[in-house]
């Protein structure tokens, strides 16, 4: 017998950003009646508790459900996911109010991790200017969305796109690709080419340049090495590199520097053995990054995000 339900956490009217994605889905789909019998008596209470976003009630019910012989693991995992999503929604509201310690305590109460808990943890870390941790959590959120076992019901493409953007921004402020591209070129998190059918149109890469110059910093070269490994592993046919600059300086100068930076990355990748056909573009300061972050960044951080190189690939 099929028992598929969707329940929602309703955010406050002034909430923005990740609030729209903290929905609850109790996934007890297509469970045979005999295997569900051990849990059937509790299901109405579970359903009511999820509708009420009652974490404490679900916690008590989970204890009782665990004691029922024959209650399927898939049903128990669905309850745990619902609890984790409720905890994430509560933590998100607290984080919006600046109560970061309290928000973190709610995340710790979740009986399992889901992409929503990791996305909120990313927000908490970002509000604390802890960009390494923020990038880690946002990339974990993308990995969890990509895994049908961890996320049976994929979120909308607009939500996946927002997670990509949050991961990009945090990773650029970290300044490397170490956590998302292995030395062998395997990509995870923001370097996934596709997550549940969503393929980002273009991706940002944290290659740092010397201020006002075309040359990469040593950290930038390290990131370029990881990008080269990634592109070789993907066996891409064509790569478009798009250079951007911050808002400082005249348009003519910014256009030239951004174009030169894209060409610098191209030459570096070619020397590293990438055989794809390259196309380079310099946008200067005409297309500043559209920030997804809901917190106030320092101007120096916004400048760093704008001094970026994006890439698009054709396989």
The CATH number given to whatever domain includes residue 218 is 3.30.1330.60
301 in the same domain as 214: yes
Is there a domain that residue 148 lies in?
Answer: no
CB 85 within 8 A of CB 24: yes
Mutual angle of helices 218-234 and 251-271, in 10-degree steps: 60
Domain match, 77 and 204 both: no
Average pLDDT over residues 91-106: 96
* Whether residue 300 is found in the same domain as residue 182: yes
* Residues 11, 84 within the same domain: yes
pLDDT per position as a tens digit, 131-155: 999 999 999 999 999 999 999 999 9
Percentage of residues of the chain with pLDDT beyond 90? 65
Q: Tokens in use for 73?
A: 């693991």
Report residue 289's pLDDT band, with 50, 70 and 90 as the boundaries. confident
State how many domains the chain has: 2
| Separation between Cα atoms, residue 179 and residue 170, nearest integer Å | 12
72 occurs within a structural domain:
yes
Is the same domain home to 195 and 286? Answer: yes
Q: Is the pLDDT of residue 183 over 60?
A: yes
Can you give the pLDDT at residue 21? 45
Q: Are residues 225 and 105 in the same domain?
A: no
For the CA atoms of 44, 47, 52, 56, the dihedral, rounded to the nearest 10 degrees, stands at 80
Dist. CA 222–CA 119, nearest whole Å: 27
Residue where a domain stops, chosen among 112, 129, 161: 112
Do 183 and 108 share a structural domain? no
- pLDDT higher at 33 or 198: 198
pLDDT in tens, 258-284: 999 999 999 999 999 999 999 999 999
Asked if pLDDT for residue 296 goes beyond 90, the answer is no
Band of residue 157 on the pLDDT scale cut at 50, 70, 90: very high
Beta bridge partners of 313: 239
- Predicted confidence band at 294 (pLDDT cuts at 50, 70, 90)? low
Mean pLDDT of the chain: 86
Domain end (from 112, 130, 153): 112
Give the separation between CA 303 and CA 215, rounded to whole angstroms.
17
Would 218 be classed as within a structural domain? yes
Is residue 163 over pLDDT 50? yes
The DSSP result for 264-291, as a single string, is HHHHHHHHTT--SEEEEEE-TTSS----
Q: How many whole angstroms from its chain centre is CA 206?
A: 16
Q: Is the residue at 276 inside a domain?
A: yes
Query: 298 and 206 share a domain?
Result: yes
Question: Is the distance from CB of 88 to CB of 10 less than 8 angstroms?
Answer: no
Same structural domain for residues 2 and 90? Answer: yes
- Mark which of 59, 78, 112 sits at the end of a domain: 112
Range of the domain at 93: 1-112
Q: Is the pLDDT of residue 25 over 80?
A: no
In whole angstroms, give the CA distance from residue 255 to residue 125. 34
Question: Does residue 151 lie in a domain region?
Answer: no
Tokens of 230: 């990634």
State yes or no: pLDDT of 295 exceeds 90.
no
> Residue 143 falls within a domain, yes or no?
no
| The predicted structure's pLDDT at residue 67 | 92
Tokens of 84: 């984790």
> What mean pLDDT comes out for the span 198-224?
86
User: Is residue 315 scored above 90 in pLDDT?
Assistant: no
Nearest-angstrom CA–CA distance, 271 and 293? 36
194 and 291 belong to one structural domain: yes
Same domain, 307 and 229: yes
Mean pLDDT of 173-190: 93
Burial class (CB in 10 A: 0-12, 13-18, 19+), 204: buried
Let me know whether 200 and 310 are in one domain: yes
Q: Which residues pair with 277 in a beta bridge?
A: 238
β-sheet bridge partners, residue 213: none
Q: What pLDDT is recorded for position 303?
A: 87
Residue entry with tokens 């990009």: 168
The answer to whether residue 121 is domain-embedded is no
Residue 126 included in any domain: no
């Amino acid at each position: 017998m099929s028992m598929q339900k969707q329940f929602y956490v309703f955010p406050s009217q002034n909430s923005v950003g990740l609030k729209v994605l903290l929905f609850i889905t109790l996934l007890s789909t297509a469970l045979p009646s005999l295997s569900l019998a051990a849990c059937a008596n509790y299901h109405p209470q579970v359903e009511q508790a999820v509708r009420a976003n009652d974490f404490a009630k679900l916690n008590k019910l989970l204890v009782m459900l665990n004691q029922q012989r024959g209650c399927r693991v898939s049903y128990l995992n669905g309850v745990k996911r619902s609890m984790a999503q409720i905890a994430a929604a509560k933590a998100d509201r607290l984080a919006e109010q600046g109560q970061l310690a309290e928000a973190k305590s709610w995340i710790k109460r979740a009986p399992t991790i889901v992409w929503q808990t990791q996305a909120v943890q990313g927000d908490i870390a970002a509000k604390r200017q802890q960009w390494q941790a923020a990038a880690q959590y946002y990339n974990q959120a993308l990995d969890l969305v990509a895994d049908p076992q961890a996320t049976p019901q994929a979120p909308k493409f607009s939500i996946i796109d927002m997670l990509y953007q949050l991961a990009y921004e945090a990773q650029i402020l970290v300044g490397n690709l170490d956590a998302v591209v292995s030395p062998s070129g395997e990509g995870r998190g923001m370097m996934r080419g596709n997550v549940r059918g969503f393929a980002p149109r273009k991706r940002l890469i944290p290659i740092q340049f010397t201020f006002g110059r075309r040359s990469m910093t040593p950290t930038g070269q390290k990131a370029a090495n990881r990008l080269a490994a990634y592109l070789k592993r993907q066996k891409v046919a064509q790569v478009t590199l798009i250079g951007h600059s911050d808002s400082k300086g005249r348009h003519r100068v910014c256009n030239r520097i951004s174009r030169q930076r894209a060409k610098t990355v191209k030459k570096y990748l070619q020397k590293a053995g990438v055989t794809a056909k390259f196309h380079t573009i310099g946008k200067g300061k005409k297309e500043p990054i559209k920030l997804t972050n809901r917190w106030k960044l320092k101007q120096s951080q916004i400048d760093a995000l704008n001094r970026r190189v994006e890439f698009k690939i054709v396989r």
